[in-house]
Amino acid sequence: MDLHELFLSALKDLSSAEKQLVKALPKLVKATVSPPLRAAFQSHLEETKTHVSRIQQAFESLGAKPKSVLCKGMQGLVVEGDAHVKQDAGDVFGDLALLGAGQRVEHYEIAAYFSAISMAKTLGYGDAANLLVENLQEEQRASDLLRKLSKPILKQAAATAEKKKG
Amino acid sequence: MPSISKSITKAPGVGSVNGTRKKVNEPIADRPRPSELITRIHTPTNLESNFASLTAAETPNRSLFVRDHFPLPKIIKSEWRLQVEGAVEKMLSLSLKDLEAMPSATHKSVLECAGNGRMFLPNVPEGVQWGLGAVGCVAWTGVPLRDVLALAGIQSNAVEVVLQGADYGAPEKPLKPKNKIHFARSLPLSTAQRPDVLLAYQMNGQPLTAAHGAPLRIIIPGWYGVAAVKWLTHIEVVRAPFHGYFQTVEYAYWKDNGTHPPERIPITQIFLKSQISRPFMHERVQAGKTYQVTGAAWTAEHKIKSVEVSTDGGKTWERSNLKEEPSDHAWQLWEWTWKPRSPGKYTLMSRATDSRGEVQPAEHDENHESYLIHHTLPVTVQVV
């Protein structure tokens, strides 16, 4: 394996990760109670569809055929998210669990994009690098938004827990 | 989005890519393309010029890179005013017609993004990963800032001038103000008094385009593009130095002072630099035939004295020909004839020296973070 092949394999992994997310996010949207959190998942679903498209463009910029190879890391995160949808969703605590699942996904993707962009830059693949940078920036913004939205939900969860105790 | 980017956008949210690409090792960032500009970031608009197509001393307006920080502001020309306020004797509110009626000046200068060349830094520093194309050279026309300041009358205790644009939004870095901000930068009064610092309303003899700050932007020849505030609406003369977001959190760096602790200072003056336009990265060059290696070099306040070229990764250097007389703040085009004898991989570099004897460094200074990338940049080519 050389660096070029390693980069293509990172692209295939990212392609799979984003495609899995396109399927998983609608379940989170449906299961979320908080309207702003639901809107955040919905809008990130739209962004994620664009991410799949940009990864395809990154392949094409190298004269390579777009391909996906199963990303097991994302598969695991999606399985965990599904479990929260089935077992926990429906109240403020369920929302917190879904928010946590979303944050794990964003952090995982951010790490994967950092690694892939670094390789693209080393190889001098300017277009591929910048297409992935656009995806990375949207993942970072999504992560920031989830962090911001967690504050009122945490507050509400604490108040609800206190009420239950009393 | 400005209309210039529409023609090169393949699909909504997707960067322009040329489907004719054949060789996997040919990076698109630097090769000749049919489009004048390459979309780097869609929102806000960030477009890179194709440095490999450099041929003229002036960058055509349609080919000049675009660096936006916030969404394009909507400006109605007939309602637009430039407010001059703060530590002045008389506040002013000027229309474009008022400014156009004043004596104008034209000055050719390089406009370079402080992050130009970020593609050449390792890992993923924050910001647009520019290749070689976040730079251009333009003849700017406008009213000298000092003439407008003289109309308003500067109070004796003033120290700086703050320039604010109509563009507005939430900055990207975590260390930021709670509320949205306008793009703003300051310059010392001594710089504001220079005759070549222009409130520009024309570029290369044409009115400024929306993407480039119409109806008015400030141009400080010899300073990085970040200081060239676009869509200018307010000039405020201040009595204490301004420490706004775009000159402290972003577009600033740690300056090593040797004897006392490093200081965070705003990015202002352009650093000495040269770039190769041809060959482009991973271009295939014929062995045994002559090839014109071309490029440009620029600096602030001094003149380019020489540009050397290396074809062995910086071990040995040959002097190139400067194509015209050096001029203040404009870039200097250069060329050098190369005849590669045998096939193989070659790393080309260019290295500029200015009139005070300063030479382009071999490596990036980490104190400059992801800005001021002015070291000798490698261009790898395949001789076949």
The partner residue sitting opposite B124, judged by closest CB among A50, A118, A131, is: A118
Pick from A4, A122, A130: CB nearest B15? A130
CA A125/CA A120 separation, integer angstroms: 5
Where in chain B is CATH 2.60.40.650? 273-383
Tell me if chain A has a CB within 8 Å of the CB of B175: no
Is the distance from CB of B65 to CB of B134 less than 8 angstroms? yes
Least confident of B171-175, B193-197, B237-241, B350-354: B171-175
Q: A49, A134, A136: best mutation site toward chain B, by most B Cβ within 10 Å? A: A134
Give dist(CA B351, CA B276) in Å, integer: 10
Q: Do A123 and B27 touch (CB under 8 A)?
A: yes
Segment (H or E) for B184: strand B181-188
Any idea where the domains of chain A sit in the sequence?
A: 3-165
The order of strands in the sheet holding B232-238 is B92-94, B82-86, B232-238, B160-169, B181-188
* A96-109 tens-digit pLDDT: 999 999 999 999 99
pLDDT of residue B109: 97
Task: Tell me the mean pLDDT in the region B88-108.
Answer: 98
Q: Quick: pLDDT tens for B285-329.
A: 999 999 999 999 999 989 999 999 999 999 999 999 999 887 889
**Minimum-distance CB partner of B119 among A4, A53, A129:** A129
Q: How far is CA A60 from CA A66, A128, B15, B259, in A?
A: 7, 9, 11, 53
- CB B283 within 8 Å of CB B270: no
In the CATH scheme, what architecture does the domain B82-266 have?
A: Alpha-Beta Complex (3.90)
Residues of chain B with CATH 3.90.420.10: 82-266
Angle formed by the axes of helices A3-31 and A92-123, to 10°?
Answer: 160
Residue B33 is predicted with a pLDDT of 52
Query: pLDDT tens digits for A28-46?
Result: 999 999 999 999 999 999 9
Helix (H, G, I), strand (E, B), or coil: what is residue B92?
strand
Range name among B81-85, B123-127, B193-197, B373-377 with the lowest pLDDT average: B123-127
pTM of the shown model:
0.88
Query: Is A50 close to B22, i.e. CB distance below 8 A?
Result: no
CATH class of A3-165: mainly alpha
Q: Which two tokens stand for residue B255?
A: 């300056």
Q: Is the pLDDT of residue B125 over 80?
A: no
In the three-class reduction of DSSP (H, G, I as helix; E, B as strand; rest coil), residue B345 is classed as strand
Average pLDDT on B357-367 reads 96
- Is the pLDDT reported for residue B88 higher than 60? yes
What's residue A124's pLDDT? Answer: 84
Determine contact: B173 vs chain A, CB below 8 A. no
Assess A130–B contact: CB distance below 8 Å, yes or no.
yes
**CATH T-level assignment (fold) for domain B273-383:** Immunoglobulin-like (2.60.40)
Interface test with chain A among B124, B175, B381, by most A beta carbons within 10 Å: B124
Is the pLDDT assigned to residue A133 strictly greater than 90? Answer: yes
Q: Is A70 helix (H, G, I), strand (E, B) or coil?
A: coil
Confidence category of residue B35, pLDDT binned at 50, 70, 90: low
